[in-house]
Each structure stands twice: as C-alpha cells, then as structure tokens.
Amino acid sequence: MTKNLLHRLGQLSTTSLIDAAPTLRILPPRLRPVAPGGHLVGRVVTARANRDLMSVIHALRESGPGDALVVDAGGDDRAVAGELFGTEAQRRGLAGLVILGRSRDTATLAGLPMPVWSTGVAPNAYAAKSLPETGVSLSLDGVRVDPGELIVGDDDGLVVGSEDEFGAAVDAAEAIEAREKGLQARMLDGASLFDVMNYDEHLAALRDGRPGGLAFG
C-alpha cells in the first residue's frame, strides 16, 4: 500500500490534504522552501541536533531512498546543512530535507532537484562535537514529528501524519483537487467566482441567524 499511497500523495497539494483531513499536523510556518516549486513526499527520519552537526551527519548516514530527514537544529544562529550535506542527501536518493533551523550554501541547495526547507540562512555552521541523537520524536515549535511517519510538503507548507491518517485522507483530497481544478477551468473560461459558489444563499442564512454553509459547485 505504501508505494501506491506515496505515488498518490505526490500528485496532491498540502491544501487539498488539509481540507480533507484537518487533523493532519501542520509544521511551523516559519519553515520555508529554499527554492520554490518543490514537492516533498517521504518517510520521516529524525535528528535532534542540539546546536551541533553530529546528529545531522549521523542521521544522513542512516537515511536512504525516499526518506525525508527532519532536523530540529536546537538553535537559530548557525546552519546545520549546506552544499556537501545536501549533495550527499541527493546522492542517497532522499526525498527532501526539513530543517527547523538554518541552512547555508543557498545557491547550491536551490539548484538541487531534491527540495529543502529551513527557517532561514546563515554563513556559519555549528561544530561537530556531540554524540548523535537520531530516530527520536521531535517537537517542532510544539508540533510532534515521529520517525516513520509520512510528510508532504510544497510551497504552502508541510504536513505530517501516520500512514493510516494519510491513507484515510487521500480519496477525499483527490476529489477536492479534481473539483477545484474543474472550477478553476470554468473561471478561466469566463465564469465568475460567484457563479461557482453559493455566496448569496450563505450570506442570507447568516443574516437570518442560521449557520448556512459556504460551498462550491
């Protein structure tokens, strides 16, 4: 099931997935793609860096094709990944890197086909002196991320959940995406946004004190 599920998730936006399953966890919005246009679908491998490079390097050595390395840098003043780290991750077939912390060598990372998210950039990096801490549950600004979970990311953000959670959401997310693409096609052909949603009915219900419900169709 996993291979088919990953393929289907690779065709879906994070917005459709969240609309279909609001209980999927959204990673902190300060995580932004180093280069726009990337799409991440992978299985989570974790590293708690503690302001040091050893955990990140060790987790990279433990990672392989299809893995998404998620790092809690433990600080926001120095980088924990750059061009050599990113290039090795690409060589190993990783699906992507997600760093709650800073990256560097931005031009090189942006040129890799493997997508990278971080909270910012810095020219200097932490030292590599501490014993590695990998394969642990992380709390990224209060959002839990566990090893072995699935993660999906695009320019709108990153969502994480179990295989079962994504499996339960994928049918509805596909239906949402297909419907919205159809509505957009109608609008590109000249239909108004107000032709494809029940705004007047919804507004009338609210004015009458009824709950209503905004819908597209």
Task: Report all structural domains of the chain as residue ranges with CATH numbers, in order of start.
Answer: 2-161 (3.50.30.40)
Band of pLDDT at residue 216, cut at 50, 70 and 90? confident
pLDDT of residue 163: 97
- Residue 1: is its pLDDT beyond 70? no
- Residue 82: is its pLDDT beyond 80? yes
Residue 70's contacts (CB-CB under 8 Å, 6 or more residues apart) are: 44, 45, 46, 47, 98, 100, 138, 140, 145, 151
For residues 65 and 45, the answer to whether their CB atoms sit within 8 Å is no
d(CA 67, CA 50): 21
d(CA 12, CA 28): 20
pLDDT of residue 143: 98
pLDDT digits (tens, 9 = 90+) for 118-174: 999 999 999 999 999 999 999 999 999 999 999 999 999 999 999 999 999 999 999
d(CA 101, CA 189): 44
- Residue 91: is its pLDDT beyond 80? yes
Region 69-86 average pLDDT: 97
d(CA 24, CA 8): 17
Mean pLDDT for all residues in the chain: 96
pLDDT of residue 136: 98
pLDDT digits (tens, 9 = 90+) for 175-215: 999 999 999 999 999 999 999 999 999 999 999 999 989 99
d(CA 189, CA 164): 39
- Residue 29: is its pLDDT beyond 80? yes
Reduce the DSSP state of residue 104 to 3 states and report it: coil
Predicted TM-score (pTM) of the model is 0.94
The residues pairing with 143 across neighbouring beta strands, listed in sequence order, are: 140
- DSSP characters over 55-107: HHHHHHHH--TTEEEEEE-S-SSSBS--HHHHHHHHHTT-SEEEEEEEE--HH
Region 10-38 average pLDDT: 97
Strands 150-154 and 40-48: antiparallel
* 40, two tokens: 């991440």
